[in-house]
Structure 1
Amino acid sequence: MGRRRGDDAVVSTLVDEDTFVDWLRDHGVPAGDDTAFLAAGEHRAGLVLTTDSQLESVHFPEDLDPWLIAQRLVRVNLSDLSAAGSRPRWALCNLNAPPDFDRERFFAGLLADCRRWGLSLIGGDTSSARQVSSTLTAIGDLPQGRRPLTRDRARPGDRLLVAGSLGEAAAGLLLQQAGARCHRGAVELPEGLPQGLAAAARRAVRRHRLPVPDVELGLELARPLSSGRTGRRGPAAIDLSDGLLKDAHRLAGASGVRLRIDLDRLPVAASLRRLAQYLEVTPLHHALSGGEDYVLLFSLPPEHPGATAGQEIGEVCVGSGLELVRGGRDVTTEVLDQLPRLGWDHLADG
């Protein structure tokens, strides 16, 4: 496909993911959510498709167990399907790796996790490469008459909830950079870590290496309120892969609203608070911008009966962007000025 005059200059300025997505949308690509939706036909359910990659030295260290590489690849894709309210059904996997890479262990781990989450591996490709690069395309389905969850349904008056603790995965990444390693289900901790922090540290490393997608919650949120009420507006949802602030801002932008987030209500595990002192980081910063939590952030309309999981952290308001409050006071500027970054960027980080 030929490139239009001037596109080279434009592409050279696309230094962050959101700018790139905006550019794609301006060029006719329906980009925005992390999944694509194919409407149901006469004899089939609707389909939801997503794809994601795991790259050596970007998403994982070069000595990571191939079993874990494969299972992390499955789970980051399923997190996107969860945010769309889709049930996982099929997958295709591409693996590019050096000749001495343990492909057998990689695919054993992949198939084990596919079975766990109800995925059937139906195809893919392999080739040789200098570094390990793996890509999974996951396909889910939706019952006829049901549409996927999207980011554009939040409206003023909705409640804002998050389904899981925040910041542990980012702490797990710091621990790995300090020497923690995962192999065959065991977590080896860095030397010098106080014994009293061992359990919290292993939990944080596992949160980063093997996220747990909330497939059942996504299905619950996508379910019509009741028969005869399918016209009612459903929740908006996004999975938190790049950090609460960055992904909440995306949801607010897609819905054309402002999200008011109460920092006093963020779900931060007590174990993370203890671990943060050792790592010399601020738990709040990890919770807001650490990234790779892979839990769902979602809005609930007033008429919605609620979800079985989720901590209410704020509300949807008229306006745009984000408002951060603590003790009832707007602290948005104060907090943002203290953050080293707003979240993970797939084009600038790594």
Structure 2
Amino acid sequence: MGEFSFIEWIRKRQKRRRDVVLGIGDDCAVINVSSDRLCLITTDMLVDGTHFDLKKCTVQDVGRKAIACSISDIAAMGCQPTVAVISICFPDHTTEAFARKLYKGIWDIADTYHIEIVGGDIISGRSPFCINVTMLGRDDGLKPIRRSGARVGDAILVTGMLGGAILGKHLSFEPRLKEGVALNKNFSIHAMIDISDGLTADLNHILEESGVGAVLYEDQIPVSPAAVELSVETGHTPLYHALSDGEDYELLMTVSPAQAKKIVSSGLLGDVKVSCIGEIVRGRSVRMKFSAGAIRRIKPHGYEHLQ
């Protein structure tokens, strides 16, 4: 079965409470907890062999990544994470030393972002090692940025460089939390998402929620050196990896052309590169404007967890 079609099936059949401001279909759910306060909720599960390989990384790397993924979700809403609960399934005969190293990785990044681990569940069984993080956040008076606000005429911006994350960035990335909050505080961001499944796949989430289409500019896509390196091994082009590879955890957003110019020139994101990579148009498809001038439809492609 397909991951996204299954999620949509659940979404269409889920009844909505009145205090649920935003449910299934975004980076976080948003719950109205008082007249002037919103609570954000996100959850991520990581499984050995799918999201990491303990033969190629340390368990501390895994702990760090587990927390960073959820921070990135809240960053994509332009809000602030606060606390987390963590559930873990250890394979039978896991040592306590292994478990403590996992938590060292968790605390290394949780402490950096002032996130307290307030509970969870720990079990063991005859299964791969897996860890699930559920994180809560607060709006701090800011309106959470949804995926559904993209408008025809918007510029499409992205932070950082894209592609080749499997060569190391998927474990060591820094969540764009400071950048997400700064964007929400200082600019009018119409729609935003973090790139976890891949640029075109995650852009397509924005397009589907907003009811619009997009044109990407081939010569403006920020292709990372890792994408170039990976292309030698895979035979795909560096551009293919920049468009399709998952786990870059950069911010992808749409804004008016005037706001786009202000974001690029403001310096508020420090040394984080911001690129204008396309525009929002009428329709529902993703198209590419190639450097030679031709415009062709491309199929959104990225990682699906159910295959």
TM-score bucket of the superposed structures, by smaller chain: 0.7 to 0.9
Please give the alpha-carbon distance, in whole angstroms, between the structure 2 residues aligned to 1:256 and 1:275: 34
Deviation at 1:332, TM superposition (A): 2.5
Please tell me whether the aligned partners of residues 227 and 241 of structure 2 are also in contact (alpha carbons under 8 angstroms).
Answer: no
Aligned amino acid, residue 251 of structure 2: L
Tell me what 1:212 maps to: 174
2:136 is the counterpart of 1:135: no
Deviation at 1:133, TM superposition (A): 0.9
2:234 is the counterpart of 1:237: no
Tell me what 1:24 maps to: 10
2:112 is the counterpart of 1:112: no
Tell me what 1:77 maps to: 70
Aligned amino acid, residue 158 of structure 1: D
Tell me what 1:60 maps to: 52
Aligned amino acid, residue 207 of structure 1: K
Q: Secondary structure at the match of 1:93?
A: strand
Tell me what 2:157 maps to: 161
Deviation at 1:271, TM superposition (A): 5.3
Tell me what 1:100 maps to: 94
Aligned amino acid, residue 295 of structure 2: D
Please give the alpha-carbon distance, in whole angstroms, between the structure 2 residues aligned to 1:302 and 1:100: 54
Deviation at 1:31, TM superposition (A): 1.4
Q: Secondary structure at the match of 2:215?
A: strand
Q: Which moved more, 1:100-109 or 1:153-162?
A: 100-109
TM-score, length of structure 1 as denominator length: 0.76
Deviation at 1:273, TM superposition (A): 2.1
Please give the alpha-carbon distance, in whole angstroms, between the structure 2 residues aligned to 1:208 and 1:112: 17
1:140-164 deviation line (CA, Å, top 9, x unaligned): 11123x2211101110111101111
Tell me what 2:297 maps to: 332
Please give the alpha-carbon distance, in whole angstroms, between the structure 1 residues aligned to 2:13 and 2:230: 46
Please give the alpha-carbon distance, in whole angstroms, between the structure 1 residues aligned to 2:89 and 2:194: 27
Flag the 1:306–1:276 CA change in 2: closer, same or farther, 3 A. same
Aligned amino acid, residue 322 of structure 1: V
Please tell me whether the aligned partners of residues 222 and 235 of structure 1 are also in contact (alpha carbons under 8 angstroms).
Answer: no
Q: Which moved more, 1:319-328 or 1:258-267?
A: 319-328
Deviation at 1:100, TM superposition (A): 2.1
Please tell me whether the aligned partners of residues 241 and 291 of structure 1 are also in contact (alpha carbons under 8 angstroms).
Answer: yes
Aligned amino acid, residue 299 of structure 1: T
Please give the alpha-carbon distance, in whole angstroms, between the structure 2 residues aligned to 1:306 and 1:62: 39
Deviation at 1:105, TM superposition (A): 0.7
Aligned amino acid, residue 286 of structure 2: L
Deviation at 1:278, TM superposition (A): 4.5
Instruction: Pick one of 263, 266, 281 that aligns with 1:306.
Output: 263
TM-score, length of structure 2 as denominator length: 0.87
Counting only pairs closer than 5 Å after superposition, residues 37-48 of structure 1 correspond to structure 2 as 37-39=30-32, 41-42=34-35, 45-48=37-40
Aligned amino acid, residue 20 of structure 1: F
Counting only pairs closer than 5 Å after superposition, residues 188-337 of structure 1 correspond to structure 2 as 205-223=167-185, 225=187, 234-270=189-225, 272-304=227-259, 305-306=262-263, 308=269, 309-327=273-291, 328-333=293-298, 336=299
Please give the alpha-carbon distance, in whole angstroms, between the structure 1 residues aligned to 2:30 and 2:123: 29
Q: Secondary structure at the match of 2:110?
A: helix
Tell me what 1:180 maps to: none
Deviation at 1:279, TM superposition (A): 4.5
Q: Which contiguous aligned blocks of 4+ residues in structure 1 show a shift greater than 4 angstroms?
A: none
Please tell me whether the aligned partners of residues 253 and 321 of structure 1 are also in contact (alpha carbons under 8 angstroms).
Answer: no
Please give the alpha-carbon distance, in whole angstroms, between the structure 2 residues aligned to 1:28 and 1:128: 31
Stretches of structure 2 that go unaligned for 5 or more consecutive residues are 16-22
Please tell me whether the aligned partners of residues 162 and 227 of structure 2 are also in contact (alpha carbons under 8 angstroms).
Answer: no
Please give the alpha-carbon distance, in whole angstroms, between the structure 1 residues aligned to 2:275 and 2:206: 17
Please give the alpha-carbon distance, in whole angstroms, between the structure 2 residues aligned to 1:149 and 1:321: 22
When you count strand as a share of all residues, which structure comes out higher?
Answer: 2
Deviation at 1:239, TM superposition (A): 0.8
Deviation at 1:40, TM superposition (A): 5.2
1:262-285 deviation line (CA, Å, top 9, x unaligned): 111100124542452255332111
Tell me what 1:88 maps to: 81
Please give the alpha-carbon distance, in whole angstroms, between the structure 1 residues aligned to 2:120 and 2:243: 36
Please tell me whether the aligned partners of residues 262 and 314 of structure 1 are also in contact (alpha carbons under 8 angstroms).
Answer: yes
